[in-house]
Chain A
Amino acid sequence: MLGFPLLSSAVFLPILGILILFFIPKNKTALIRVTSGIITFLTLIVSLVIFTHFNSNDPGLQLQERLSWIPQVNINYHLGVDGLSYSMVFLTALLCFLACIASNSIKERIKEYYIFFLLLETGMMGTFLALDLFLFYVFWEITLVPMYFLIGIWGGPRKEYAAIKFFLYTLAGSVFMLLGILALYFTSTPHTFNILELTQQSKFFAQAFQNIVFLALFFGFAVKVPVFPFHTWLPDAHVEAPTPISVLLAGVLLKMGAYGFFRISYPILPQAANYFGFAIAVLAVINIVYGAFVAMAQTDFKKMVAYSSVSHMGFVMLGLAALSPVGFSGAAMQMFNHGIITGAMFLLVGVLYDRSHTREMGAFGGLRVNLPVFSAVLIFFSMASLGLPGLSGFIGEFLSLLGGFKAFKLLTAISVLGIVITAGYILVMIQKVLLGPMNDKWKGLSEISFRELVTVVPLLVIVLVLGVYPKLALDIINPALNLILNNMGVVLP
């Protein structure tokens, strides 16, 4: 281990924050909020410092930190970052900071809330940085616990149901994942949990073995993404979760599943990835089209955004299934952009809900007259969500589809239907909420506040910048993706 452990500090700064919070009396709410805000901000700064030490041209895993943890079974504390995981680390740090600001709407049991919040950040960071499967699993499970409480305590009317459903569903998935991890451990020689070593050994794994392990891991990851038909926990969890938690759930947690495919399933089990390519593409198309269909039928704003996530994450799966540089780039971009855009959408839904205490889209109407700034921002992110070129959402979708088209002509042709329906439900939403004659009931609704604006403007800038100049992100992510594809034996020029 060389120099300052940057990656570890990104992972454990929030834990430090928790320790500090322990010493703050729970009635000093302002201090608690500020401390948490500073901690998440510092984590964001650390993530930026990581970038200054990061070499975009190096496709491998950098800034590795490695300590022996349980030497008897060869378990190591092993972190590392490449372009792909960096995009996720930055996303996590940024969204955590913004969600922390947005957490001002939380009014009860504040100290506990922030403790769980920070624990969640540690879990997410660790998941994206871990290079040891055991460590990965530990971080993966760590995210479950705070999420369970965050939904279960601070959630909406059906919070217990949603929290338990989320917890059990993901846990059921992770059990299979654990089996898969153990199978990999016992099959490798020497026995190892090291992702990099397992990748090296991938060619020695028999096809049948790969298939079985792939399925086991698939179940764990698919629940998280979520892939049809394992998606029904998502709308419940989203609708019940408080706004900042929805942001993290959609923005970051879903990406953990997709990241698992990129980091573990695909590199370690390349033949299985190839074998199941078509099946994954089919599920991806179902995600895209079916998700859009169901989103169209929603009357609850938040639920609509939740189902739109199902549809949008389908593009990630489609790009993955394409197994090509174009598809992979699309999938990785879509992961990042979906985090940004959907995060912002949930923040905006929250702004509306905090004022009106309803999420029924039909209850609104004509808000654009009174709330021009809020409306402009909402329209902006809606356009990003429906994949308008010039905004970042387009790049991911476009490349995923383009990559998908090469591998699966017909399936991609069907999934293009998804972008038409997406335009449909997004525009219907805009019309119901913002356009038409103004509903007198909401005459007194106040404009988006400065603090709320602060939470969305950074996202707005990213959406615009990456939409116009996607090279910025692609040049960081692509080398890592190409290396993965290379290791998988996909021929690259």
Chain B
Amino acid sequence: MVNYAYLIPLFPLLAFAVNIFWGRRLKAKSAPVAILAMLGSLVISCLILKEVITGKTLEQSVEWFKVGRYSFEAGFLVDPLSAMMLCVVTLVGLLVEVYSIGYMRGDKRYHLFFAYVSLFIFSMLGLVLSNNLIQTYVFWELVGVCSYLLISFWFEKKSAADAGKKAFITNRIGDAGFFLGLSTLFYYLGTANFTQISQRLMHHPEGLSQGILALAAVLIFCGAVGKSAQFPLHVWLPDAMEGPTPVSALIHAATMVAAGVYLVARSYAVFAAGHLSLEVVSYIGIITSFMAGSIALVQTDIKRILAYSTVSQLGYMMIALGVGGYSAGVFHLMTHAFFKALLFLCAGSVIHACGVQDIRQMGGLFGKMKVTATTCLIGCLAISGVPPLSGFWSKDEILLSVYNSGNRVLYGLTLIVAFMTAFYMFRLLFLTFFGKPREKLHIHKPAPTMDWPLIILAVFSIFSGFVGSPLMGHAFSRFIYFHPEHTEPNYMVMISSVIVGLAGISLAWVFYILSPALPAALAKNFQPVYNLLLNKYWIDEIYDRFIIQPFLRLTKFAFSFDRYLIDGAVNLTGTSCVAVSRVKGWIDKYIVDGLVNLIALVVGALGEVFRRLQTGLIQNYILLIFTGVVVIVFLLRFI
């Protein structure tokens, strides 16, 4: 089965081709095409995972092209990491597509939506399967462009078009770093193949410079910072909410943002070899995680809360990877994919049902949409780390690896983030589904095709954590395995994680169920802090003021420079040539030609004088001859 891994990305690619060329004729049938393809990929992925669990791995490649002595390959690598990821991506992708049947019904570009989603998943699967950095880069960019197409799917809205553009350009900044990182590595190690890189670094580390490896790792990490929306390139993700909600679910769970974490995991050998880079990863992780978590506390748009929550959770994974908790980070990547997809699809159902996105306008929806509310509760419990749901186990692994790293400040901060997570998630839950309806909203029930994906994801949100829990002997981390990690359960860590989670939930209950007046009062008392969070630390404004505007002014300046100075010089050369030729023309006319004319004039004048001698009278001529003879004789005589 492993040999057929190439089919996994191929199916969605075919679905894309069919839908882009014949979608308009297929109309509503474009959804089954995409779904069927996805289902095929999922089945193969699962079969492959089964084989990989029994210890099988496979790497195959063909030569893509060759230049000089460098051969660029195209291939796939099936190992535990990619096999796990394939299943997550195809499963979430399939559920999102099924969900979209109902959500996107009636959209005039229905078929295009399914075409783009198929291409998006194809790109992600290609990235996951890729066996070398260059191919990863190729699919990496493709993922970027798909996200652009999907975020600005409703392009008639200016905000959507802006958001798509912002996502693409922000990502490109990270990608530029990624490119330099892969070039560094490519020349330094002479290969871009992951297996060869790992082998070289682990078995023959002699003679390699830690500094260069750290530099390469940090540059590659730049790419991950862009894709996984880490500080300072996180700004695109909240805006990406302009896309249709199923797309948000896809981006936040399985495709786009997961790619960054996956890249770090994939090239972990480089990070591990260049030690310094791991510190960078964990610091960026904690900054992002804390900042985004705090912003989520005060947001009121249901999707934006979830967006910042994603940014924060991705930071969490980065922290784990940064402190050496390789399997913990990857584990959380998996569990998070399930519950975050679930939460987004729940949000989609709510938006679909009541037509607004501001949680202050909602309330008391529980009775009207029981499936959505229940599954949303499960998602919230999972992300808040309540045992025995999946989030608890993966968060616990992360906290444990942070704790074991010995950095107490970092540990404290990760606990605070866990607390904030629980608080803002239950704030969202309470304000949306509980209490009394704050505004009269016309609710229409979601279609069954929208409920079933929620239920399935809820099941995974509950149970998927067990595979990595001590109950199953940390099966997950032994499966993913990078290098031996400390896996002794630590009850202190476990208990503290549960306590902060429950504390966050209780506080949300106090604030939003027990005494709803409290938050407003608090916001008033801490106005500056509240404003800081509400305005997202003014980062967008700072970028606009100090980067984007100066950049645009610089482009205008460059254009003026081009037009007036460089082209001016060209034109000056031209006009001075003309001027010189005018002067020369004048010289020619009045001096050179003047001389000529002068000569003619003199000759003419002389002619005029001598003309007078030609009288035609014989007497005059004889007189002249006689005078001449006399003069000559006279002269001869005396000289």
Q: Which residues of A contact B (CB under 8 A)?
A: 165, 168-169, 229, 231-233, 290, 293-294, 296-298, 324-326, 329, 366, 368-369, 383, 388-390, 394-395, 399, 401-402, 405-406, 412-413, 416-417, 419-420, 423-424, 427-428, 431, 434-438, 469-471, 474-475, 478, 482, 492-493
A293→B186 contact, CB < 8 A: no
Q: Which of B165-173, B305-313, B330-338, B508-516 is the contact stretch?
A: B165-173
| Shortest Cβ distance from A485 into B: residue | B68
B172 touching A419, Cβ below 8 Å: yes
Per-residue contact bits, chain B 546-559, to A (CB 8 Å; 1 contact, 0 not): 00000010111011
Specify which chain A residues have a CB less than 8 angstroms from the CB of B158 in the assembled complex.
436-437
A297-B556, A427-B168, A438-B156 known; A493 vs B141 contact (CB < 8 Å): no
The reply to whether A416 and B555 contact each other, CB–CB distance below 8 Å, is no
Given A324-B68, A405-B187, A435-B155, A296 contacting B138 (CB threshold 8 A): no
| Pick from B65, B66, B142, B555: contact of A294, CB under 8 Å | B555
CB of B67 within 8 A of CB of A293, answer no
Q: Please, which residues of chain A bring their CB within 8 A of the CB of B176?
A: 416-417, 419-420
Could you pull out 25 A-B pairs where Cβ atoms are within 8 angstroms? A233-B570, A296-B552, A296-B555, A326-B67, A326-B68, A329-B67, A329-B68, A366-B156, A368-B155, A369-B156, A383-B145, A388-B142, A389-B139, A390-B142, A394-B141, A405-B180, A405-B187, A416-B176, A424-B169, A427-B169, A435-B161, A471-B63, A475-B65, A478-B66, A492-B68
**B43 part of interface (Cβ distance < 8 Å):** no
Closest to B156 in A: A437
Q: Which 8 A-B pairs have the closest CB atoms?
A: A325-B68, A389-B138, A297-B559, A232-B567, A435-B161, A293-B558, A435-B155, A296-B555
* A482 and B555 contacting across the interface, CB-CB below 8 Å: no
- B183 interfacial by beta-carbon distance below 8 Å: yes
- B190 CB, nearest partner CB in chain A, Å: 12
Q: A424 vs B162: C-alpha distance in the bound complex, in angstroms?
A: 12
- Please give, as numbers and ranges, the residues of chain B lying within 8 Å of A165 by CB-CB distance: 570, 574
A474 to B184, CA, bound (A): 23
Residue pair A436, B156 in contact (C-beta under 8 Å): yes
CA distance A294 to B559 in the complex (A): 5
- Bound CA–CA A471/B67 (angstroms): 9
**CA–CA, A233 to B566, complex, Å?**
10
> Which of A389, A394, A413 has the most chain B CB within a 10 Å cutoff?
A389
Contact residue among A168, A297, A474 (Cβ-Cβ distance under 8 Å from B67)? A474
Question: Would you give the shortest CB distance from A295 to chain B, in whole angstroms?
Answer: 8
Whether A297 touches B558, Cβ cut-off 8 Å, given contacts A326-B70, A416-B179, A435-B152, is yes
Chain B proximity of A430: nearest CB distance (Å): 8
Residues of A within 8 A of B172 (CB): 419-420, 423
Closest A-chain residue to B219, C-beta based? A413
Cα of A316 to Cα of B64 in the assembled complex, Å: 22
Q: Residue of B at shortest CB range from A437?
A: B156
Q: Are B66 and A474 in contact (CB under 8 A)?
A: yes
**Which residues of A have CB within 8 Å of B139?**
389
Q: Which residues of the other chain, B, contact A233 by a CB distance below 8 angstroms?
A: 570
Give the distance in Å from the alpha carbon of A169 to the alpha carbon of B161 in the complex. Answer: 42
* Minimum Cβ distance to chain B for residue A370 (Å): 12
- Knowing A165-B574, A390-B138, A419-B172 are in contact, say whether A413-B180 is a contact too (CB < 8 A): yes
**Which chain B residues border A296 with CB–CB below 8 Å?**
552, 555
Residues of A within 8 A of B482 (CB): none
Given contacts A293-B554, A427-B165, contact A434 B187 (CB under 8 A): no
- B61-81: CB near A (< 8 Å → 1, else 0) gives 001111111100000000000
Q: How far is the CB of A313 from chain B (nearest CB, A)?
A: 15
| B126-152 interface with A by 8 A CB criterion | 137-139, 141-142, 145, 148, 152
User: Which residues of the partner chain A approach B169 to less than 8 Å between Cβ atoms?
Assistant: 420, 423-424, 427
B577 to A, closest residue via Cβ: A168
Which of A232, A368, A478 contacts B570, CB < 8 Å?
A232
Q: Kindly state the separation between the CA atoms of A325 and B69 in the bound complex, as whole angstroms.
A: 8
- Residue B540 is within 8 A (CB to CB) of chain A in the complex: no
**Given A232-B566, A297-B559; A389-B179 close (CB under 8 Å):** no
Tell me if B's interface is mostly helix, strand, loop or mixed: helix
A227 to B46, alpha carbons, bound, how many Å? 55
Q: Does B541 contact A (CB under 8 A)?
A: no
- Report Cα–Cα, A341/B559, bound state, in Å: 24
The docked-state distance in angstroms from the alpha carbon of A416 to that of B222 is: 13
Q: How far is the CB of A474 from chain B (nearest CB, A)?
A: 5
Contacts of B559 in A (CB 8 A): 293-294, 297-298
Check A434 against B555 for contact (C-beta < 8 Å).
no
Question: Whole-angstrom distance from the CB of A412 to the nearest CB of chain B?
Answer: 8
Contacts of A478 in B (CB 8 A): 66-67
Q: Using known A-B contacts A423-B172, A492-B68, determine if residue A416 contacts B180 with beta carbons closer than 8 Å.
A: yes
Contacts beyond the supplied A325-B68, A389-B142: 20 A-B pairs with Cβ under 8 Å: A231-B566, A233-B570, A293-B554, A293-B555, A297-B556, A369-B156, A388-B142, A389-B138, A390-B138, A395-B65, A405-B183, A405-B187, A412-B183, A416-B179, A420-B169, A423-B168, A424-B169, A427-B164, A437-B157, A469-B65
User: In whole angstroms, what is the CA distance A399 to B70 when docked?
Assistant: 11
Highest count of chain B CB atoms <10 Å: which of A297, A390, A420: A297
- What separation, in Å, do the CA atoms of A478 and B183 have in the docked complex? 21
Query: Which residues of chain B in 15-40 are interfacial with respect to chain A, using CB atoms and an 8 Å cutoff?
Result: none
**Which residues of chain A are near B558, meaning CB under 8 Å?**
290, 293-294, 297
Measured between beta carbons, the chain B residues less than 8 angstroms from A169 are 570
Q: Does B544 contact A (CB under 8 A)?
A: no
Q: Chain B residues with Cβ under 8 A from A395's Cβ?
A: 65
Which B residues, 513 to 555, have Cβ-Cβ distances below 8 Å to chain A? 552, 554-555
- Given A401-B183, A431-B165, A470-B65, check contact A229 B142 (CB 8 Å): no
Contact between chains at B67 and A399 (CB < 8 Å): yes
Minimum C-beta distance from A350 to chain B (A) = 23
Which residues of chain B have C-beta atoms less than 8 A from A406's C-beta? Answer: 183, 187
A423 cross-chain contacts in B, Cβ below 8 A = 168-169, 172
Residues B155 and A436 in contact, CB atoms below 8 Å apart: yes
Would you give the shortest CB distance from B529 to chain A, in whole angstroms? 35
Q: How far is the CA of A368 from the CA of B156 in the complex (A)?
A: 9
Residues on the B chain within 8 Å of A369, using CB: 156
- Chain B nearest CB: distance from A292 CB in Å? 9
Q: Are B65 and A474 in contact (CB under 8 A)?
A: yes
Report if A168-B65 is in contact (Cβ < 8 Å); known contacts: A419-B172, A436-B161: no
What is the chain B residue whose CB lies nearest that of A477? B67
- How distant is the Cα of A383 from the Cα of B158 in the complex, in angstroms? 20
CB-CB < 8 A to B567: which residues of A? 232
- The docked-state distance in angstroms from the alpha carbon of A395 to that of B164 is 25
| Inter-chain contact B155/A402, CB cutoff 8 Å | no
Please state if A294 and B138 are interface contacts (CB–CB under 8 Å). Answer: no
A423–B171 alpha-carbon span in the complex (Å):
10
B593 at the interface (CB under 8 A from A): no
Taking CB atoms, residues of chain A closer than 8 Å to B183 are 401-402, 405-406, 412
B588: Cβ under 8 A from any A Cβ: no
Minimum CB–CB distance from A367 to chain B (whole Å) comes to 11
Q: List residues of chain A with CB within 8 A of the CB of B148.
A: 427
Given A420-B172, A438-B156, A229 contacting B165 (CB threshold 8 A): no
Give, as a whole number of angstroms, the nearest-CB distance from A50 to chain B.
Answer: 23
A457–B610 alpha-carbon span in the complex (Å):
87
Which residues does chain B contribute within 8 Å of A413, judged by CB atoms?
Answer: 180
* A206–chain B nearest beta-carbon distance, Å: 30
**A402 partner residues in chain B, CB cutoff 8 A:** 183, 186
Point out the residues of chain B lying under 8 angstroms from A427, CB to CB.
Answer: 148, 164-165, 168-169
Q: Which residues of B contact A366 (CB under 8 A)?
A: 155-156
Which residues of B sit under 8 angstroms from A324, Cβ to Cβ? 68
User: Which chain A residues lie closer than 8 Å to B141 at the CB level?
Assistant: 388-389, 394
- CB proximity of A55 to chain B, nearest CB, Å: 18
CB <8 Å contact, B562 and A232: yes
CB distance from A300 to the nearest CB of B (A): 11
Q: Which residue of B lies closest to A292 (CB)?
A: B555
Chain B residues within an 8 Å CB radius of A492? 68-69
Q: Contact between B155 and A401 (Cβ–Cβ < 8 Å)?
A: no
